Structure formats: C-alpha cells, structure tokens
Amino acid sequence: ATVRDRLSAPGPHVSVEFMPPRDDAEEAVLWDAIRRLEPLRPSFVSVTYGAGGSHRDRTVRVTGRIATQTTLLPVAHLTAVGHTVAELRQIIGSYAAVGVRNILALRGDPPGDPLGTWSTHPGGLTYAAELVALTRSLGDFCVGVAAFPEMHPRSTDPTTDLRNYAAKVSAGAEFAITQMLFSAADWVSLRDRSVAAGVDVPLLPGIMPITSLGRLRRITELSGQAMPVELAERLRAVEGDPAGGRAVGIEHAVDMCRALLDEGAPGLHFYTFNRSRATLEVLGALGLTPAVLRR
C-alpha cells in the first residue's frame, strides 16, 4: 500500500510520527507507543531520520520492523544532509529491501546548529526536491515532503517558499506534512495559496499539544515561527503546574484539530515523540475512535 492510496480513501486520516530510538530502553518505549496506537489503525506511521551515525541505522531497522511485524504502513523519513548521492541510493535500496515503499524526502539541517550555514556535502544534494526526484527514479516509491505554513526559516518570502514547495511536488511528491502548527488558520492559508498555485496534493497538518511555556519557547526559537500569543498567555497562567499545562495544551490541540477538520484537512498528523497518551487524548476528545477511523 502507499500513502497516496490510503489518503485517497475518505477521511479523516490519522497518522503518527515517531523518532528513532537511541538505545534499547528507548526502543522499548517506542514499541509500547506503537502497540498502544496500532488499534487506531492510523493511515500511516512515519519514522524520522536522525542527525547522524547509528540513529540513522536504527531508522532503517525500526521502519523495516514496523513493515514486517505490525499491521501499520511505515513511512521512512530520509534527509540529504551529510550523504553522497551514492549513499542515498544505497539507503533507499535498503528501504526497498525491507518492504518500505513510502519515503518522506527532506533536506535536513546542518548538524549541531539547525539554523547555521548550509553547505552541500561533496557529491551530495542541496534541496529536498532533488531527493524527491532521486527517490522516484529508483523505484515505485510514494514520496512525501515537508511544508511550512509560516514559511521555512531560510526562505526570504512566502512566495519564494511556496514556489520551492511547488518544485517538490513537480519533482514527484504526492503528499506533504506541515511543520508543527499553532493555528488552523496557518494551514488554511497555505492550502489556499497552494491550490491557487496549482499545487494540490494532500497537505496533512502537523499536530503536537504544547504543554508548557518553556517548550513553546524552544520550539518557536528552533523553527523561526511566531510566538502564538494567546496560547503563550494561557500557558503562562499555569506555569509550574504540569497538570494545568497539559490541560491547556490538549484543549488547544483539540480546538485546532476540530477547526482543521471543519476546513477540510485530509487528516491529522501527530508528532508523538514516541509517546501515545496525548495523541489518544486528543483523538478521544474529537470522537475519533478506532471504530470511526477505518483507515
């Protein structure tokens, strides 16, 4: 199955994102989350690609294990950073070998400092669009890409950002997942601008309940997104109260998901950080139970 096939069925679709575990203990936590989320029958589960070394091997291994040992459809993230084209070809081949046919093609960030100077690896690729084209050229892969409703921090202006997103779709991307959203209006704006520009692949909104002001600050610093003032105020009012922060974060996410689905979002993509609880709570509040989510 491909993500394209899954998303062409009536929604709403739920998908979840995991990170490659760094050691055996983290791997156990990840498998616990996978088993808890599996009954929701998510349309796909994606596994991020680490910044370097052994984590990268674990992405390949974990994704292969999901393909062979669960009922879930895995999507493997792959980044161009630090790789030659020959290495990228080899990794894409190893995904094919373990039955992974869906790949999220990304450029990645410079290791150490995500906002630091980008330099293309000798013999490597410069933009995600090139990785989309490479992956598509190597076999029958369904390829997705990242999209940035508040524009990528390296982009100079929204029009150029949209043109570069469109280039990834022209190169063969068949779906997109957004950066973490703070407001449904940001998704609606990108969806409308994309459709007007003739870019009409499913655009999945990225969801993560933010449960503390500290976390919100770190996320916006790294992503270059504007501080969502109202959410920040609500989190400030419950600083030092973890249960209160959790309640605010979940409620904000539930309201945003409701607005997204009302606006016609094809699904909801949850950044889980390898935990299941927040995703299950949000979906429960939305009434999206396993019986409703038939894939």
The reply on whether position 22 binds ligand FAD by CB under 6 A is no
Nearest to 55 by CA among 96, 13, 15, 22: 22
- Residues in 128-187 at the binding interface with ligand FAD, rule: CB under 6 A: 128-129, 146, 152, 154-155, 161, 164, 167-168, 177, 179
Measured from the CB atom, the residue of 51 and 96 that comes closer to ligand FAD is: 51
Out of 21, 108, 209, 245, the only residue in the binding site for ligand FAD (CB under 6 A) is: 108
Task: Select the residue interacting with ligand FAD from 56, 58, 77, 234 (CB under 6 A).
Answer: 77
Alpha helices in the chain (DSSP H): 3-8, 24-37, 54-69, 85-97, 128-137, 158-170, 184-196, 213-223, 229-236, 242-262, 277-285
Candidates 3-11, 28-36, 61-69, 121-129; binding stretch for ligand FAD (CB under 6 A): 121-129
CB 201 within 8 A of CB 265: no
d(CA 32, CA 15): 17
Q: Is 30 in the site for ligand FAD (CB under 6 A)?
A: no
Measured distance CA(144)–CA(100) in Å, rounded: 13
Q: Which of 17, 130, 150, 174 is catalytic?
A: 17
By C-alpha distance, which of 250, 255, 256, 251 is closest to 278? 250
Stretch that binds ligand FAD, among 3-11, 87-95, 122-130, 259-267 (CB under 6 A): 122-130
The answer to the question of residue 2 lying near ligand FAD (CB under 6 A) is no
Closest C-alpha among 142, 221, 144, 137 to residue 180: 221
Residue 49 lies near ligand FAD (rule: CB under 6 A): yes
Instruction: Select from 271, 231, 275, 274 the least CA-distant residue to 251.
Output: 231
Nearer to ligand FAD, 134 or 238 (CB): 134
Segment interacting with ligand FAD, rule: CB under 6 A, options 89-97, 127-135, 188-196, 227-235: 127-135
Query: 17 catalytic, yes or no?
Result: yes
Report the alpha-carbon distance of residue 64 to residue 48 in Å, rounded: 13
Q: Name which of 154 and 236 has its Cβ closer to ligand FAD.
A: 154
User: Do the Cβ atoms of 215 and 223 come closer than 8 Å?
Assistant: no
Residues in the chain: 295
Dist CA 5 CA 3 (whole Å): 5
Q: Which of residues 205-224 bind ligand FAD (CB under 6 A)?
A: 206
Residue 105 CA to its chain's centroid (Å): 11
Please report how close the Cβ of residue 204 comes to ligand FAD at its closest, in angstroms.
8
288 is a contact residue toward ligand FAD (CB under 6 A): no
User: What is the SS3 assignment for 102?
Assistant: strand
**Where does this chain bind ligand FAD (CB under 6 A)?**
48-49, 51, 77, 79, 106-109, 127-129, 146, 152, 154-155, 161, 164, 167-168, 177, 179, 206
Q: Which residues are catalytic?
A: 17
